[in-house]
Amino acid sequence: MGKSWLFSLAFFGWIILITILSLVRFPDDPVVGLEIPHLDKIVHFTFYFIAAILASFYQREVFVKRITFNKILLISLLFAWVYGIIIEVLQSTITTARSGDMNDVWANCLGGLIGVLLLKLWFSAKPVH
């Protein structure tokens, strides 16, 4: 079993956290004095950057030697993109406190892309088992 339970917990926990934070209403008042331009887009980028990385490590442990690392990265990227789009659609359709935003979709997709590219660069010099 190895580390697969740890990566499973981390990945699915992160996806649940993204879902809750994306669909639940929070107080409108930001932290006083905290005015960071485009903070929302930075948060979206970070959510899906981490999601893509965790998805890759999760799959790497679960599908040991059955799927190439490049396929794992592609699946992780597609998951991050599709899930990010789904969350934005859900924000537009099932919530009254949130609204979907195409710029959020772009931030989500960019986060996922940079996450898998970073892993590709990181592991390209190392043999993948």
Q: What is the pLDDT of residue 126?
A: 59
CA 99 to centroid of chain Cα atoms: 19
Q: What is the pLDDT of residue 36?
A: 60
Residue 124's pLDDT band (cuts 50, 70, 90): confident
* CB-CB contact of 72 with 63 (8 Å): yes
* CB-CB contact of 80 with 108 (8 Å): yes
Q: What is the pLDDT of residue 76?
A: 96
pLDDT greater at residue 32 or residue 99: 99
- The pLDDT tens digits of the residues spanning 59-118 come to 998 888 789 999 999 999 999 999 999 999 999 888 877 777 898 999 999 999 999 999
d(CA 112, CA 73): 10
pTM of the full structure:
0.84
